[in-house]
Amino acid sequence: MSTVEAVARLGDWVAGLRWADVPSATRDRLGLVLLDSLGVTVVGARQPEQRALAAAWRPSAGPAPLVGGGVCTTVEAAAWLNATAMARLELDEGHKYAKGHPAAHGLPAVLALAADLGASGPSTLAALLAAYEVAARFGRATTLRAGMHPHGSWGVAGAAAGCAKLLGLPADQVAAAIDAGAGLPVAGHFASALDGNPVRDAWLGASNVSGLAAARMAAAGVARNTGTPALSLGDVLGSFDPGPLTDALGERWDVDLGYFKRHASCSFTHPAADAALAMRGLDLGAVEEIVVETHSLGGGLGRTTWDSRLGALFSTPFVVAAALVHGAVDPAVSADEGRDDPRVRALAAKVALRVAPDLDARLPDERAARVTVRMAGAEPRVVEVPNPIGDAAHHPMAEDDVLALLGRLLDPGTVATVHDVATGLPDSPDIGPALRRLADI
């Protein structure tokens, strides 16, 4: 099947998607993704760097909430700023088969547009599901060149699909929107994240705004489905196989296969953090070396120094040391006053990161890690985990778990409001007023 044909089939599927026809387990899972996403957006919005960005933006008044930001603004400003807040602390939901974050690529755009349109709950949820599923399929279909970061590339097509669905476009125009979205990727380098450069967060803002633009282009009749993904995501950014775009379409729901994050750090560090937490209680002063074995996707996160929050979140030595010292990898440990803890610095200097062929062979179903702690006068301690806690295939999180996670990071009143908004959407004839409640929390 050609890329043009595959995108046309996706457009037809998105246009015909009805919330009432979605299996109940998948509806529940999307609701959980929405709950988690809104909650971590609030946490991100309360960080000083995100507040400074919103202030510098000087957002004009409009119909869409700046989640946790105190104002309602234009659709595009809300989409950009909410997306960057959602990714600010590396807490947003992700997907190992898509090799990235489908929800963050399009959820903020869909919600901002839905608030503007006064869309119903069922139509909004169908659009959110379309955005997630199309983004995940594009993630499966795309193999980025070595060194590229996945933010802002393949996920634009999902944002375009969700916004086109919300606009009620027919199948051919949805396909045109998806094609146009795939032609608007960011070529971001992974080293920017390792260097702690927040431009990495902006790539998700760009994805959401570009998805909006692609859907508006399709609505205006100035977009076409010509096979752009094979050129932009394939020839330019890596390689592209259209097969995964339609594989088990309408039978497999990728939203069911994602993971929630209990650590504020890159997902590649999570299995090692879980293993470290399983060894809490060690005499850290006696530690001589910590060897972290991982898969090739996480093999570049071995820096033992950092000069920013984001740089720390992309350092496996920092995350492992923070887990052992603090017993958690919450936002406080990477904040300005926390990440220079001398105990963490000293322990991180003893961490060596290595790619293990046996763990690499278990991709993509497992993102495993093996942590060995060598101590003076004692036998080495070894803990291996197959996936991070929160993965759909390894200690998956239910609603109570997500609420408990948010409860560690937010006050009870805020968590209750986010929960009320997220769970109330399916029955809402106009989600605008409910979403705008999120501006003032």
Do residues 192 and 338 share a domain? no
- Please report the pLDDT score of residue 338 as a whole number: 86
Do residues 90 and 208 share a domain? yes
CATH number for position 433: 1.10.4100.10
Band the pLDDT of 32: cuts 50, 70, 90: very high
- Please report the pLDDT score of residue 337 as a whole number: 83
Band the pLDDT of 433: cuts 50, 70, 90: very high
Do residues 402 and 426 share a domain? yes
Structure-block tokens of residue 217: 């282009």
Q: Find the angle CA(149)-CA(396)-CA(320) to the nearest 5 degrees.
A: 55
Do residues 69 and 146 share a domain? yes
Are 181 and 224 within 8 A, CB to CB? Answer: no
Do residues 254 and 281 share a domain? no
State how far the Cα of 84 lies from the Cα of 364, in Å rounded to an integer: 27
- For the stretch 48-71, pLDDT in tens is 999 999 999 999 999 999 999 999
| Complete DSSP assignment for 168-179 | T--HHHHHHHHH
- For the stretch 106-161, pLDDT in tens is 999 999 999 999 999 999 999 999 999 999 999 999 999 999 999 999 999 999 99
Strands 351-355 and 287-294: parallel
Domain boundary among the residues 385, 411, 430 is at: 385
Do residues 295 and 216 share a domain? no
Proportion of the chain above pLDDT 70, given as a percent: 100
Give me the amino acid identity at 141: A
**What domain range includes position 355?**
267-385
Q: What is the pTM of this model?
A: 0.97
Average pLDDT on 30-51 reads 98
CATH number for position 329: 3.30.1330.120
**Where do we find the tokens 């890159």?**
266
- Please report the pLDDT score of residue 377 as a whole number: 85
